[in-house]
Amino acid sequence: MRRDVTAILLFLVLALGFSACYWGMILLWPERSLPHVLELFLWALFRGFGPAVAALIAAYYKEGRSGIRTIFASLIRWKVQPRWYVLGFLWPIAAVGAGILAAHFFAHVSLKPAMNFAPRLILVFFAMAIVDGPLGEEIGWRGFLLPELLRKMNPIVAGMMVGVIWWMWHIPLYLADGKSIPWALYLLNTTALSLIFTWFFLRTKESTFFAIFLHNMSNYPIYLSHQIFPQVQDAAIGRIVFFAIVLSLAAAASISMAYASKRRLPAP
């Protein structure tokens, strides 16, 4: 088997295996039953930074130190055209805002805020980027897995595959948290987001730094809406509108990537 294919398989086994180990850890040792330092280490390895650790191991297996340097070069590649930062900032806010307005106008949900926007919520944005998934996940998903798949298949298929793996990785974590979610809809959501992220990834010099920013922006407005307008969470119409916008953007991203791929094909 080729070394690059083996590296991808190694990444998948490690990333998904770490996630499963976290679920097993929670089943065997409920919260606070282990020493705090050990619990924090296992959380970071199995959950918070599992995909990142898996990516570094797989990259080293494939190319040695050169593979590690490639990941870190993408991680600090922040100089992309400002319009992508603006677009990456605006679309999640617009999608969440549309859901809130739909809940207000169609479900008659009050928009009286439960709290005002406080400066500390800005700090939460940066904290979420580090400990709530974007950093630890994106080094794996877009820092290693997506570039490897893009060398073997078209962006749409590669983006969808990353979305499915992303969904599979979350399942043991949510089971460990005791969350009950509609798994089929969640699969559709992660796949749609992955296609959107892939579109941005290709336009930002394959920047993992930007992928972390985009991932965080897809989470942060939802967090803010839950803090400021918690009453909106009970309105199904808000979730439907938000989901419809995400699916529409994923479809637009897919069409754009398909057109770009067709233009790159040599003439017959």
Average pLDDT over residues 2-9: 94
Q: What is the rounded CA–CA span in Å between residue 246 and residue 254? A: 12
Radius of gyration of the chain (CA): 19
Instruction: Among 48-62, 125-139, 159-173, 250-264, name the one with the lowest average pLDDT.
Output: 250-264
- The larger pLDDT score, comparing residue 2 to residue 51, is at 51
pLDDT at residue 3 above 70?
yes
pLDDT digits (tens, 9 = 90+) for 202-256: 999 999 999 999 999 999 999 999 999 999 988 999 999 999 999 999 999 999 9
Query: What six digits make up the tokens of 259?
Result: 């057109």
Report pLDDT for 116.
Answer: 84
**Residues above pLDDT 90, as percent of the chain:** 85
Average pLDDT over residues 62-70: 96
pLDDT at residue 181 above 80?
yes
Q: What is the rounded CA–CA span in Å between residue 7 and residue 117? A: 45
pLDDT digits (tens, 9 = 90+) for 94-151: 999 999 999 999 999 999 999 888 888 999 999 999 999 999 999 999 999 999 999 9
Confidence band, pLDDT 50/70/90 cuts, at residue 29: confident
* Cβ atoms of 6 and 61 closer than 8 Å: yes
Query: What six digits make up the tokens of 178?
Result: 């005791």
Average pLDDT over residues 46-55: 97
Query: What six digits make up the tokens of 34?
Result: 């282990």
pLDDT at residue 54 above 80?
yes
Mean pLDDT over the full length of the chain: 94
pLDDT at residue 266 above 50?
no
Report pLDDT for 263.
Answer: 67
Write the CB contacts of 211 (distance below 8 Å, at least 6 apart in sequence). 134, 138, 141, 142, 143, 197, 200, 201, 204
Query: What six digits make up the tokens of 237?
Result: 């119409």
